[in-house]
Amino acid sequence: MLLAWKIKALVAAVVAPLAISAFAPIGDPWPTTSHVPIPDLVDLRPGAFRYRASGDFTREGNPAPAPIATVAIKRTLAVMRHQVTAADYSRCVVAGACPTVDNEAAASDRPAVNVSWRDAHAYASWLSRATGIRFRLPTDEEWVFAAASRFKDDVLPDAAYDRDPGLRVLAIYDVEAGRRARGIDGKPQPIGSFGANENGLLDVAGNVWEWTDTCFVRGVLDTRGETAATTVNCGIRVVEGRHRAYVPDFVRDARTGGCSVGVPPSNLGFRLVHEDDAWSKLYLLLGLAQRR
């Protein structure tokens, strides 16, 4: 089985609640919900689904398709209905907790873009402090779970795993060329422009890609196709949208300074999740009560 995930899933399951309980009671017990609205969240009930691992894999010295496994989301996952907006993000900037980024205006109806993983992380920390609810970026597994039918398994054609390096390069190039030909308007659109998926989440896989917390993994598969070893590089995070991408955590615009070959994400934005737990439920209720 995929040991790396098992461990990761285990760690996430154990550490996340600890972190929340360690964090929540300390500090300001009455979050400033009057200034920072609690985001519109969609509860996703626990479930299991087939998931193709992110990252690059080799098998017997050749590039290989990433393995597929069943992944379980064991607790209710609350996901922001829409991407963090430019106006949302600017509140964090004003509070001095997020770096200024290049957004055309602090529009309340457009997603924040030109955001690096580090910026998104800073925002999550600030929003957690400001609301008392522990928000974080989703893992890649969680993003795929939430995206449901909007997730595209972009596994490459067989030729991309051929022993012939020339064939491999050409097969991958042709996939990329197809993506480029289907190019979309790069300008961030009003929230909801790309519709809702079956979970009610807006603009999933629109023209703003979303940061996940998952690090880039290079895995070695054994002869049975199971992960035997991995190298984890957390300087590069998985970005999800119309296709999967791996982007250094400090990059705000993947379009500029991209590779000579390959189609980068049009925009980098994000949405946050929080796991169901007693503390945040309580704060959520309090927050809602205060707002009313």
* Binding residues vs another protein (CB under 8 A): 56, 58, 60-63, 104, 164-167, 169-170, 173, 176-178, 180-181, 183, 186, 218, 220, 222-223, 228-231, 255-258, 260-261
Q: In this complex, which beta carbon is closest to another protein, that of residue 212 or of residue 266? A: 266
Q: How far is the CB of 261 from another protein (least distance, A)?
A: 6
Provide the minimum distance between the beta carbon of 169 and another protein in the complex, in angstroms, as a whole number: 4
CA 217 remoteness from chain centre: 15
Q: For the purposes of burial, counting CB atoms within 10 Å of the CB of 232, is it exposed (0-12), middle (13-18) or buried (19 or more)?
A: middle
Question: Is the distance from CB of 257 to CB of 248 less than 8 angstroms?
Answer: no
CB 270 within 8 A of CB 211: yes
Structure tokens at 10: 């285990």
Q: Which is nearer to another protein, 18 or 181 (CB)?
A: 181
Instruction: State which residue, 123 or 161, has the beta carbon closest to another protein.
Output: 161
CB of 63 to another protein, least distance (A): 8
Question: In 182-242, which residue ranges form alpha helices assigned H by DSSP?
Answer: none
How far is the C-alpha of 81 from the C-alpha of 50, rounded, in Å? 23
DSSP 159: G
Smallest gap from residue 251 Cβ to another protein (A): 14
CB-nearer residue toward another protein: 43 or 164? 164
